[in-house]
Structure formats: structure tokens, C-alpha cells
């Protein structure tokens, strides 16, 4: 049984049936899935959720898909890790990392695709498609493979090797477009008028967005059914940022958590920071930019949900900050060295932004803070390849080992301690 009742315009509140549409015909506002929250409140409980599957399907009542249409790669229910080492470095008391690197295709995009893909199947589509900055393409290709659907995934041609291979392995129709994401997205909007495909982030966008809110559900559940004081979220289109908060508010509407006092803060790269720039100018209207950053998964210069992200920033009392490419690399290394998580450039952006926000006083040391680590580092090896140690190359003898160790000790004093221990 489905508790989703309609699509509703975020601006004029007009309702539409649950169909593969995404804009209001009257005011061109974006459509969102509406639910019968009273019915859900009667039927849902913390205990039933806790007994459910270890995936985002544990929140089925708050998702717009009937069970028999699920494309189930077990996306979601990823670890929320207490990060005391990193917290100490940054000067925070209670910091958690939501580690979405460990999803089926190694990014949080498996959440929106699980929902949009499954709902597309329920609508009777046989082809999944997307305009992607890389991770979405990986996830669409994988979910289409699992569902035995066709897929067309469109990416900018300058993506990292890991993101291209990470799609190609599932054998989709993989199309590299000469242009940036905003060009790819415009092309896909035109293709969507011509072909009867389910573009997960265009005509299926209302359903896509529902997947991201499960991050909010999980964080609240994993904190013992309460929301944190502060969230730091990497922003590209802004969908993830706004939907995490929608997750919190829905849990409250159905009676599973109490009051929400969460401040939502934005992390972007300086080379693509339209939301941060508008925030600094106290404006709700961002100016589109031409992206230039190593954080390619965040390189959207004209963010579809930028306006709503800015509204949410203001309403929750959050902050926004942009970081340089060098800081992104440092952030990736810091996260790996302190907490054992190898995240992609978006994760480096989040950690570097977290550091800024603490230093600026935008995050108070006593705030219970959650940083969202949204994708895995093996996909963006180019970013850090020249910034990490190379192996100590030796012959298979103790003599060679100790000789090389001493040589390296002379070159890099940091290795002194290891050399000492080796005698």
C-alpha cells in the first residue's frame, strides 16, 4: 500500500496525479511528492523501522514506490561514524560522519536512483536515463542492469577515469558530451521531449528527490531518534541539501522525533560556488557560473534547487563556505589520515568546509555536528595521486628494507620514528 497521494507544486500548492512530470503547468514551480501523513503516523513505529531491512527500504511507508517494483541493490542505511580524531583536530566535541561512500556504486546517488528508477519501472518505462556529473551515471547504469532495463547516461567528456569506467562496466549507452554539466543537462531536457525515457533527474525529479531524504531519516534514527544541531552538506544542484532536512521534518510530522533545531550549512568549491556567493550577498537569486574545480561531482553552475537551498540556509540559520582545490585535497587527506575514510573530492570539500565553519565560529564547538561524506575516493584518484607517499621500493631482504628506510628517513624526517624502531 502506498501513502504517497499526489504531486504538489512547491509554489502554488496545486496537486497533480503521481505521474512522470516535474513542473507545475500554472506557475512552473517544481513538483514534490505529497503523502497522507496522518495515515503514516497511525501505521509507522520506531520498532517496525528498526526491524526492517538494512537499506533505505526500511522507510518504505515514506517512499513513493510499491514494493513489487523495487530495484533493490540495498542502497542506504550506511554507517554514521563518531569521528573523535577529526573532531579533536578541528576543535569539536561531538562530530559524526555519514559515510555514504559504502553504497552499491560508492556514492549517495544510489538513494535517489533507487527511488526514481523503481518508480520509473512502476510507470512502465523500459529505459532509464540521466544527465550526470559522474556518480549519477554510475548508479543509473547499475540500477538499469539490475532491473534489466536499457540505460542512456550522459556525462561531460572531461570526467575522471574512475567515474567513466564506473559507468562503462554496467554496459549502458554511455555518452560523453563536449561541454560542462549544464550543457549536458540542457541537452537531456531536449532529449526528454523527444524520447519516452525516464530521466531520473529531469522528468522523474520529484521521485529522485525522495531518495535523498532517506539520509535525514537515517541520521535521526542513528542518533537515537533525534536530529543533530548542525549538518554540513556538499551542494551541487542543491537537491541533497534540501531533502536531508525534508527527511527530518517528515519524521517529526509522523511523530517519530521531537522538535528540530538543526542548522543546515553548505559546502562548495570556490571554482563553482553559486550558492555560497548568493548567501554572502544576502540574496535568494544566485548567478549561474562556469565551473572550474577538481570537485567535478559538485560542478553544477546553474543549480536546479539553488533557490530552495538558499531559503533553507536562511530558515535554519546555517552558513555557507567555499574552499579552494588545494583545501579539497587537504580535506581528503585529513579525512583519510584521521578517520580511515577515503572519500572523493566532494568529501574533501565537506571536510575543508567544516574546518572553515568551525574556525569562523559558524559552528560552535559544542554543537552535535554531522558531516555528509557522499562519495568514495577511488573514483577520483587523479585529485590526490601526486599528493600522497609512494611505496618504499625494496628487494625481498631485511637488508634492503632497512637500507631504503634509512634513505627515506634522510629524505623525509617524518619517517625517522619508523626507522628508529627498525633499529
Where do contacts with Zn ion occur on this chain (CB under 5 A)? 9, 11-12, 14, 24, 26-27, 29
Q: Which is nearer to Zn ion, 28 or 195 (CB)?
A: 28
Using rule CB under 6 A, residue 357 touches ligand PLP: no
Per CB under 6 A, the list member of 206, 228, 238, 301 interacting with ligand PLP is 238
**Of 143-182, which residues contact ligand PLP (CB under 6 A)?**
none
Residue 275 binding result from ligand PLP, Zn ion, none, given CB thresholds of 5 to 8 Å by partner type: none
Residue 30 binding result from ligand PLP, Zn ion, none, given CB thresholds of 5 to 8 Å by partner type: none
Q: Which is nearer to ligand PLP, 64 or 134 (CB)?
A: 134
Give the residue from 99, 170, 175, 178 showing the smallest Cα distance to 138: 170
Q: Which stretch binds ligand PLP (CB under 6 A): 160-168, 229-237, 259-267, 324-332?
A: 229-237
Shortest gap between Cβ of 241 and ligand PLP (angstroms)?
6
Residue 58 binding result from ligand PLP, Zn ion, none, given CB thresholds of 5 to 8 Å by partner type: none
Give the residue from 307, 229, 219, 299 showing the smallest Cα distance to 265: 229
The set of residues, in sequence order, having a beta carbon less than 8 Å from that of 183 and lying 6+ positions away, is 156, 177
Residue 206 binding result from Zn ion, ligand PLP, none, given CB thresholds of 5 to 8 Å by partner type: none
The string of DSSP letters for 265-302 reads EEEEETTB-HHHHHHHTT-S-PPP----SS-GGG--SS
Using rule CB under 6 A, residue 346 touches ligand PLP: yes
- Work out the number of other CB atoms within 10 angstroms of the CB of residue 419: 17
Q: How many CA atoms lie within 13 A of 200 on its CB side?
A: 38
Per CB under 6 A, the list member of 99, 135, 151, 302 interacting with ligand PLP is 135
Judge contact between 305 and 241, C-beta under 8 A.
yes
Strands (E), 18-120: 31-35, 80-82, 94-99
Looking at residue 83, the DSSP 8-state letter turns out to be -
Per CB under 6 A, the list member of 103, 107, 227, 265 interacting with ligand PLP is 107
Q: How many residues at the interface with ligand PLP, by CB under 6 A? A: 18
The set of residues, in sequence order, having a beta carbon less than 8 Å from that of 315 and lying 6+ positions away, is none
Residue 321 binding result from ligand PLP, Zn ion, none, given CB thresholds of 5 to 8 Å by partner type: none
Shortest gap between Cβ of 186 and ligand PLP (angstroms)?
16
Q: Nearest 5 degrees, angle CA 139-CA 143-CA 149?
A: 130
Using rule CB under 6 A, residue 377 touches ligand PLP: no
Residue 375 binding result from Zn ion, ligand PLP, none, given CB thresholds of 5 to 8 Å by partner type: ligand PLP
Q: Nearest 5 degrees, angle CA 178-CA 238-CA 191?
A: 40
Site string for ligand PLP, 284-323 (x = CB under 6 A): -------------xx-------------------------
* Grid cell in block for residue 378: 577511488
Judge contact between 201 and 130, C-beta under 8 A.
yes
Q: Nearest 5 degrees, angle CA 383-CA 82-CA 52?
A: 100
Residue 24 binding result from Zn ion, ligand PLP, none, given CB thresholds of 5 to 8 Å by partner type: Zn ion
> Would the CA dihedral through 205, 46, 82, 314 be positive or negative?
positive
Using rule CB under 6 A, residue 240 touches ligand PLP: yes
Using rule CB under 6 A, residue 247 touches ligand PLP: no
Q: Which residues bind ligand PLP (CB under 6 A)?
A: 107, 109, 133, 135, 234-241, 297-298, 344, 346, 374-375
Amino acid at each position: 500500500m502506498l501513502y504517497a497521494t499526489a504531486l504538489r507544486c512547491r509554489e502554488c500548492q496545486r496537486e497533480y496525479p503521481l505521474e512522470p512530470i516535474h513542473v507545475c503547468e500554472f506557475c512552473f514551480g517544481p513538483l514534490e511528492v505529497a503523502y497522507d501523513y496522518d495515515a503514516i503516523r497511525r501505521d509507522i513505529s520506531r520498532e517496525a523501522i528498526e526491524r526492517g531491512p538494512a537499506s533505505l527500504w526500511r522507510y518504505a511507508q515514506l517512499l513513493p514506490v510499491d514494493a513489487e517494483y523495487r530495484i533493490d541493490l540495498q542502497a542506504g542505511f550506511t554507517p554514521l561514524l563518531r569521528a573523535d580524531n577529526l573532531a579533536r583536530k578541528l576543535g569539536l566535541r561531538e562530530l559524526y560522519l555519514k559515510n555514504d561512500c559504502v553504497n552499491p556504486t560508492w556514492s549517495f546517488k544510489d538513494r535517489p536512483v533507487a527511488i526514481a528508477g523503481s518508480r520509473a519501472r512502476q510507470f512502465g518505462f523500459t529505459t532509464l536515463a540521466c544527465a550526470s556529473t559522474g556518480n549519477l551515471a554510475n548508479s543509473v547504469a547499475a540500477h538499469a542492469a539490475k532491473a534489466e532495463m536499457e540505460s542512456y547516461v550522459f556525462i561531460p567528456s572531461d570526467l575522471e577515469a574512475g567515474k567513466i569506467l564506473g559507468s562503462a562496466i554496467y554496459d549502458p549507452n554511455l555518452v560523453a558530451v563536449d561541454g560542462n554539466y549544464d550543457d549536458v543537462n540542457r541537452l537531456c531536457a531536449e532529449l526528454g521531449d523527444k524520447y519516452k525515457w525516464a530521466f531520473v533527474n529531469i522528468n522523474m525529479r520529484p521521485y529522485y528527490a525522495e531518495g535523498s531524504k532517506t539520509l535525514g531519516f537515517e541520521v535521526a534514527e542513528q542518533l537515537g531518534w533525534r536530529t543533530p544541531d548542525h549538518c554540513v552538506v556538499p551542494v551541487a544542484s542543491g537537491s541533497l541539501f534540501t531533502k536531508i532536512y525534508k527527511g527530518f521534518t517528515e519524521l517529526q510530522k509522523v511523530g517519530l522525533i521531537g522538535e528540530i533545531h538543526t542548522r543546515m550549512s553548505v559546502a562548495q568549491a570556490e571554482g563553482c560556488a553559486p550558492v555560497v556567493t548568493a548567501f554572502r550577498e544576502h540574496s535568494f537569486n544566485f548567478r549561474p557560473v562556469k565551473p572550474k574545480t577538481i570537485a567535478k561531482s559538485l560542478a553544477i553552475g546553474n543549480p536546479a534547487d539553488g533557490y530552495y537551498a538558499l531559503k533553507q540556509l536562511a530558515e535554519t540559520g546555517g552558513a555557507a563556505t567555499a574552499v579552494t582545490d588545494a583545501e579539497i585535497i587537504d580535506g581528503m587527506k585529513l579525512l583519510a589520515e584521521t578517520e580511515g575514510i577515503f572519500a572523493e573530492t566532494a568529501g574533501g570539500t565537506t571536510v575543508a568546509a567544516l574546518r572553515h565553519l568551525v574556525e569562523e565560529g559558524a559552528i560552535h564547538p559544542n554543537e552535535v555536528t554531522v558531516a555528509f561524506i557522499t562519495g568514495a575516493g577511488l573514483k577520483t584518484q587523479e585529485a590526490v595521486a601526486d599528493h600522497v607517499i609512494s611505496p618504499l621500493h625494496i628487494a625481498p631482504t631485511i637488508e634492503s628494507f632497512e637500507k631504503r628506510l634509512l634513505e627515506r628517513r634522510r629524505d623525509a624526517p617524518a619517517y625517522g620514528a619508523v626507522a628508529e624502531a627498525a633499529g
